[in-house]
């Protein structure tokens, strides 16, 4: 059944004044952060009021659930407006997902779409390096705010935006039209791009992928740019690629912290179930000097660990024997490790692991490499994409420190 489009909120005169003041204040904040130094993007920001495109959103409640904040409710209107014009990501769609019995049963609510933090939106748009005649494909329409900024900067005919959810594309198209913008808005699988309107000078994805979909490479013009969040299950960040004359694309990771929702190939979200843990082999116990907290607190180290353990999942847990916090890493083949986050008196951490791969030993080797490379910043890592393969490299593509990524639809390679 088709869901009704939530229309923009009709504001009173006083509320319009409040919205205008909040919009201007956010503009001053973003300008002070350097995100509106480009006059063209500043003008685009000023012309696109975020509240028109985000008439409602969800915020966490005090009992672990979600509370709807609806601009259509006069009692919530001021809170809604002030929230919309803060520099924050707003969840605009949730899905109730049943958990299988092996995960404990029940249901959980999973984000399926959001309106991204404005400073990150503008940072990504600035890094696209658009020209006035650039044709842009956006993967992940969401609220339509990103598409609105692109339309205000480039013109409606230059902008194509797609999303997997028809309720999102229908709503975004309607709300953009109320602002006078009519880009091409389609419901489509983002991994396939939109070949009917290709090629594109720029592709920007406000979603995360484990590898660059081949269609994006094919649909980008020579000299064009692909900008997306590239990550495994435990780490990653933005990467900016340039399409080369030979049909490949290469570029470096960006310093901007980002963590988008996964690109989905169908409306139903994935169920977050860990792989079945190896029960055949006897777990071993030992200690380590590597602080497992690094995997939570330093995203660059986490990313490097992800490259060494593709397909890994990381969860925070509690050790049943002493009720202390721990980190569990699981691999698709059932290998696992559980490392205490509490350091003992001798400066070491307890480790338990089992399965065909020595999970924590890989983390220790990765930590040694991390130190030998000087705890490198993001921009020292890069990515090269060809029609046949994709690999991450350190400093330059010919460096011996390279890591193959799984091709889309293929299992992760095993690194030992």
Helix (H, G, I), strand (E, B) or coil at 115: strand
Q: Is residue 379 included in any domain, yes or no?
A: no
Residue 34 vs residues 82, 89, 126, 178, 220: alpha-carbon distances, Å: 22, 19, 10, 29, 29
Q: Rounded distance, CA 226 to CA 128, Å?
A: 8
> Which residues in the chain come in under a pLDDT of 70?
1-5, 97-109, 265-281, 408-416
On whether residue 414 sits in a domain, the answer given is: no
Q: What is the pLDDT of residue 416?
A: 28
For position 103, what pLDDT does the model report? 54
- How far is residue 206's CA from residue 186's CA, in Å, rounded to a whole number? 16
Specify if 316 maps to a domain.
yes
Core vs surface per residue 294-305: b (16+ CB within 10 A) or e? bbeebbbbbbbb
Identify whether residues 311 and 234 lie together within a single domain. no
The neighbouring-strand residues paired with 391 are 384, 404
297 and 247 in a common domain? no
Residues 21, 85 share a domain:
yes
Residue 307 near residue 382, CB atoms below 8 Å? no
- Report the domain count for the chain: 2
Q: Is the pTM of this model over 0.95?
A: no
Given this model, what pLDDT does residue 386 score? 96
Regarding whether 206 and 300 lie in a shared domain, the answer is: no
Do 351 and 304 belong to one domain? yes
* CATH number for position 293: 3.30.160
Instruction: List, for residues 197-220, the tens digit of each pLDDT value.
Output: 999 999 999 999 999 999 999 999
My answer on whether 73 and 166 are in the same domain is yes
Domain range holding 294? Answer: 284-372
Q: Is residue 386 part of a domain?
A: no
* Residue 309 falls inside a structural domain: yes
pLDDT of residue 408: 61
- Do 204 and 117 share a domain, yes or no? yes
Task: Give yes or no: residues 293 and 231 share one domain.
Answer: no
Residues 141 and 197 in one domain: yes
Q: Is 393 among the domain residues?
A: no
pLDDT for 381 equals 96
* pLDDT of amino acid 411: 43
Is residue 58 located within the same domain as residue 197?
yes
Number of Cβ within a 10 Å radius of residue 318: 14
Domain membership of residue 228 (yes or no) is: yes
Do the domain assignments include residue 259?
no
Residues 242 and 314 in one domain: no
pLDDT of 268: 46
> Structure tokens of 160?
């194509």
Same domain? For 308 and 188 the reply is no
């Amino acid at each position: 059944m088709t869901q009704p489009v939530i229309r923009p909120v009709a504001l009173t005169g006083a509320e319009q004044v409040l919205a205008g003041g909040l919009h201007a204040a956010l503009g001053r904040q973003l300008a002070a952060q350097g995100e509106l130094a480009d006059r063209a993007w500043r003008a685009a920001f000023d012309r696109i009021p975020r509240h028109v495109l985000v008439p409602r959103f969800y915020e966490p409640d005090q009992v672990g659930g979600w509370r709807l904040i609806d601009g259509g409710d006069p009692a919530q209107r001021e809170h809604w407006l002030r929230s919309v014009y803060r520099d924050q990501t707003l969840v605009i769609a949730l899905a109730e997902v049943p958990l299988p019995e092996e995960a404990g049963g029940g249901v959980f609510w999973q984000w399926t779409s959001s309106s991204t933090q404005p400073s990150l939106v503008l940072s990504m748009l600035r890094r696209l390096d658009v020209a006035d005649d650039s044709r842009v494909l956006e993967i992940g329409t969401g609220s339509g705010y990103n598409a609105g900024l692109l339309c205000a900067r480039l013109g409606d005919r230059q902008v194509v935006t797609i999303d997997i959810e028809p309720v999102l594309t229908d709503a975004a198209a309607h709300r953009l039209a109320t602002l006078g913008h009519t880009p091409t808005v389609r419901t489509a699988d983002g991994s396939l791009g939109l070949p009917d309107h290709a090629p594109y000078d720029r592709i920007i994805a406000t979603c995360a992928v484990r590898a660059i979909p081949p269609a994006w490479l094919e649909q980008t013009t020579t000299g064009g740019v692909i900008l997306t969040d590239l990550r495994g299950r435990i780490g990653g960040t933005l990467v900016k690629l340039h399409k080369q004359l030979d049909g490949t694309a290469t570029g470096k990771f960006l310093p901007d912290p980002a963590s988008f929702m996964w690109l989905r190939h169908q409306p139903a979200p994935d169920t977050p179930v860990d792989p079945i843990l190896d029960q055949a082999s006897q777990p071993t116990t030992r200690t380590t000097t590597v602080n497992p907290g690094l995997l939570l607190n330093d995203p660059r180290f986490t990313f490097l660990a992800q490259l060494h353990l593709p397909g890994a999942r990381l969860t925070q847990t509690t050790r049943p024997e002493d009720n202390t916090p721990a980190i569990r890493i699981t691999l698709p083949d059932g290998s696992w490790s559980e490392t205490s986050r509490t350091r003992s008196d001798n400066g070491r951490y307890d480790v338990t692991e089992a399965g065909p791969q020595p999970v924590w030993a890989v983390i220790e080797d990765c930590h040694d490499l991390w130190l030998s490379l000087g705890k490198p910043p993001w921009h020292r890592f890069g990515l090269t994409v060809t029609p046949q393969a994709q690999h991450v490299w350190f400093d330059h593509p010919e460096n011996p420190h390279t890591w193959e990524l799984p091709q889309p639809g293929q299992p992760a390679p095993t690194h030992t």
